[in-house]
Structure 1
């Protein structure tokens, strides 16, 4: 009896710990985190934040990260996305994919090297290399964690895992409902004091809402927009009034140094063009409607990640220290707890790195996973655009007319993640109309990746390590109708575009029926979708100098529109 009395409390405590770990960590890492030893911790500055918040009756906007999550190494995504088939494309992975219910589990990954990963010793860098530290003013309203170069994480043995399928799937129809509900349900942090900019945003909201309600005249573009008239009115108001303050703080390479090519280039192109903008950038912070945090999530990972550490401690602490710097130098962060600040980030890890210390900010994320932290009414989906040629981002744009597109469906790429081996197991070499490959090997007389894109009716965007992939944007770039097979992925500019009018959404569990689904689309419907792809293409193109309605302006509009509808009358 005595033994039983002891066992019951122990079982209860263990259950509570398991529940808390499940809530805090991504699925698939719960047990591995519980069973790992030597968890990395973010050091605390000793309770200064709690004391300051209590004294001023201000709730901190962020939490101290006492336990860093054990995480997989960053995939080597500097690639054309048509590279080698990994050993995961095996019958074992295929059988896993066919298992009833797609049960979540961790799948070992073949070791892969990355030229971007350097030794642990090189990661012990001083913050002074990147941030202009300021001693002015109290450090309030920020995560009380710092990066201490003397306690850099050391490289442990290799251990890599891939997350399994999501436990909960949110279909595109449910996302539409969530977006509509977010306009009324999401409540941003109320400003601690009013500003002229808030009044201008509230006035813009009323003007846009009036169009949404009264203008029901059908227009040629209505089918690709949720509300074409409201979008045009909102866009015009943005051009007329939007002012953005870009913080000068932060040193290169993490800050103010955009990467202009590769799959993460969207964050770099945006950074460059907003910093050069005469229309939208203001030097007078008091006039600003929004404040931009000009860091590169990709360079942050390249610079601070400790190889094989499975920890993002250094990156989270680095950003936390940066926020303390700007909060000490300016009053703007503390006025709204960061609600009128925004970031533009394309790396896989950006959602988890910013979810606490920047949880009130508007986050434009390539990794736009509705079950992975993206929140309607606050965050927006950022297009991942693979820029192959930084000096000519529009090179090769376009494709063959529908009558010359002989291939029904095309996919090629690395065996990243759990799903792509499943896709290949079902369709590789199974049907001549379904061109589904791993790596496309160059050779005389063989079609290239781009040639397949330009000559296929439907281009498959299959999720990799994360929900997002540049194939969605590549399909539009080459005028191929996108087929998105990535559960819980929120496509870019979702608040503006009617994606179901020009893209096909297929649940991962329906992969065995992929050809039947595509063949069931009438030719007349396909032709309309392909024509709509060509119409929306202008929204996904980078230009050396921004032009009206291009991707730079559309990213800005998503952020502007989101902030406009966060404002509530005082």
Structure 2
């Protein structure tokens, strides 16, 4: 009995010892993880979003206009109800400001987010030939060196343990799925509003590993935007076009006053640093933005510690052109090339590791860019033309919908701007294009040569300067913007360019500058399933309503124009502003 009693006592001591050790480990992890939540850091997905059925949002945001007077969303159930109650004098100037500490915006514990920072270890500096480690597979083709002029970084002032010739990162943290919640077949504009509201309230970027002055500047900026005074007096900004014109105006002013961008010098042309290669065609947005960003003396800084944002200056179009192996069906080498680049800059700069890349951004218009950047650059703010919130891991509130612009003249990107007056637009609706994807064949099946008011064609015969296509757009009331292989189409911007009301038929497409613009006030959204009823939907819009929308298209046009030299509120500044705006509202200070 004595031996058995002694055995029981020793067993109890062992159990207590194990429990104490476990408790110490948990406490240690609690203070070490960037979010201070060990359970979420260990087990939760990186981000969570609410199910689309969650309609009982208690917060009211000034960014979401609640008046139905300037919203046009059509589906089978309501297309017969024309929206003709607009009053230009009565639907502006309604501003509702909410405070960031509103208890109703606090996310439930189950929606806590986690992003593991890069592990700080001693390793050999990554060489210019980007041979990283034994576990990194080499690209399928010989990629050009990222940087032939390699210089070893100086010792980090913020991390003195890293000496010259050492890299602060050996392996990038794995990227976890964004959309862990189920997403329905169709994410409506209203659903997108709700998701954006939720992400604004509950999702933050990784806490910085150490504090800099720029963190406090971003926090002060956020507070000023949230408390922006009501301002409807700027003649350059027409209030019904915006979710909250006062917030936009204040944010834009603070961007002009405050924002500094650091551009990484690493990377070999033409994939990096060569905007001239992509200034025309349907991918021109990434080329023109790179050109203006690199030439900017106002926004660019050479001091990384002064930067609020870090630009990764690569072209998704040139990446595909130089590295894709025709007929292979594989993008693995392109994904690896970008991963190697992130390893390179993470090994040379403190900047990536300080924030986990959440203050870095890229601008890419190729359809593949969404997938190519997901594994190594998902923590970045990604300005993407392929803004599919349903299946392409596009995250509202972090990522930016990049306008896809078809630039035909690099010397004069404004050539052919404008269109006929509304009274001279004799065509009800127009579409012409190649049969990409599964939506366009359905559109033609129902409307090609079926109705004289509906000019729906396959690709038009070639003409000098594409005159036939342009003239149709200039002469039509509504321009059909039907998705191709992916949700994006240059027709959205082309319609605005030629002052034709866009009719967007692309489920789950996040329209450009969604966080700023009230798209429902100047565009029509038709679900793909409603294509057979398209004409009735358009005819249900009263002439008065059409005239209001067409005038608003003309007013919003300034935000979608490229200029040889950037001008205030143009497309370059709007892209940069959306990136800035998303960064400000995701800032996460060091506690």
- TM class by shorter-chain length? 0.7 to 0.9
Per-residue CA deviation, residues 65-107 of structure 1 (Å, 9 max, x unaligned), is x999xxxxxxxxxxxxxxxxxxxxxxxxxxxxxxxxxxxxxxx
Q: Which residue of 2 aligns with 1:138?
A: 167
Task: Please tell me whether residue 182 in structure 1 is matched to residue 211 in structure 2.
Answer: no
Q: 1:443 to 1:381 in 2, by over 3 A?
A: closer
Q: Which residue of 2 aligns with 1:326?
A: 345
Q: C-alpha separation between the residues in 1 aligned to 2:559 and 2:349?
A: 35
**TM superposition outliers: structure 1 runs of 4+ over 6 Å:** 216-220
Task: Please tell me whether residue 409 in structure 1 is matched to residue 429 in structure 2.
Answer: yes
Q: Trace 1:66-77 onto structure 2 (pairs within 5 A).
A: none
Q: 1:130 to 1:506 in 2, by over 3 A?
A: farther
Q: C-alpha separation between the residues in 2 aligned to 1:232 and 1:248?
A: 32
Task: Please tell me whether residue 351 in structure 1 is matched to residue 370 in structure 2.
Answer: yes
State the 1:133 CA deviation: 5.7
Q: 1:52 to 1:411 in 2, by over 3 A?
A: closer
Asked whether the 8 Å contact 2:282–2:405 carries over to 1, the reply is: yes
Q: 1:321 to 1:447 in 2, by over 3 A?
A: closer
Q: 1:142 to 1:487 in 2, by over 3 A?
A: farther
Q: C-alpha separation between the residues in 1 aligned to 2:232 and 2:564?
A: 36
Q: Which residue of 2 aligns with 1:98?
A: none
Query: Of 178, 189, 192, which aligns to 2:209?
Result: 192
Asked whether the 8 Å contact 1:186–1:378 carries over to 2, the reply is: no
Task: Please tell me whether residue 285 in structure 1 is matched to residue 334 in structure 2.
Answer: no
Task: Please tell me whether residue 494 in structure 1 is matched to residue 511 in structure 2.
Answer: no
Q: 1:310 to 1:201 in 2, by over 3 A?
A: same
Q: Trace 1:15-54 onto structure 2 (pairs within 5 A).
A: 53=119
Per-residue CA deviation, residues 272-302 of structure 1 (Å, 9 max, x unaligned), is 1000000000011110000000000000011
Q: C-alpha separation between the residues in 1 aligned to 2:268 and 2:462?
A: 41
Query: Of 413, 416, 431, which aligns to 1:396?
Result: 416
Q: Trace 1:189-228 onto structure 2 (pairs within 5 A).
A: 189-211=206-228, 215=230, 221-228=238-245
Task: Please tell me whether residue 461 in structure 1 is matched to residue 461 in structure 2.
Answer: no
Provide the secondary structure at the position in 2 that maps to 1:306.
coil
Task: Please tell me whether residue 243 in structure 1 is matched to residue 309 in structure 2.
Answer: no
State the 1:447 CA deviation: 6.9
Provide the secondary structure at the position in 2 that maps to 1:128.
coil
Asked whether the 8 Å contact 1:127–1:318 carries over to 2, the reply is: no
State the 1:143 CA deviation: 3.9
Provide the secondary structure at the position in 2 that maps to 1:459.
strand
Give me the CA root mean square deviation.
Answer: 2.6
Q: Which residue of 2 aligns with 1:304?
A: 323
Provide the secondary structure at the position in 1 that maps to 2:197.
helix
Q: C-alpha separation between the residues in 2 aligned to 1:193 and 1:52?
A: 14
Task: Please tell me whether residue 365 in structure 1 is matched to residue 394 in structure 2.
Answer: no
Asked whether the 8 Å contact 1:344–1:365 carries over to 2, the reply is: yes
Asked whether the 8 Å contact 2:231–2:245 carries over to 1, the reply is: no
Rg bigger for which structure?
2
State the 1:501 CA deviation: 0.2
Asked whether the 8 Å contact 1:141–1:334 carries over to 2, the reply is: no
Q: 1:201 to 1:524 in 2, by over 3 A?
A: same
Q: C-alpha separation between the residues in 1 aligned to 2:408 and 2:560?
A: 15
Q: How high is the TM-score relative to the length of structure 2?
A: 0.70
State the 1:309 CA deviation: 1.3
State the 1:53 CA deviation: 2.8
Q: C-alpha separation between the residues in 1 aligned to 2:526 and 2:348?
A: 49
State the 1:127 CA deviation: 3.8
State the 1:310 CA deviation: 1.4
State the 1:194 CA deviation: 0.6
Q: 1:406 to 1:130 in 2, by over 3 A?
A: farther
In structure 2, runs of 5+ residues without a counterpart are 1-115, 123-132, 153-164, 175-182
Provide the secondary structure at the position in 1 that maps to 2:455.
strand
Q: Which residue of 1 aligns with 2:471?
A: 451
Per-residue CA deviation, residues 336-374 of structure 1 (Å, 9 max, x unaligned), is 010000000000011111112011100000000001111
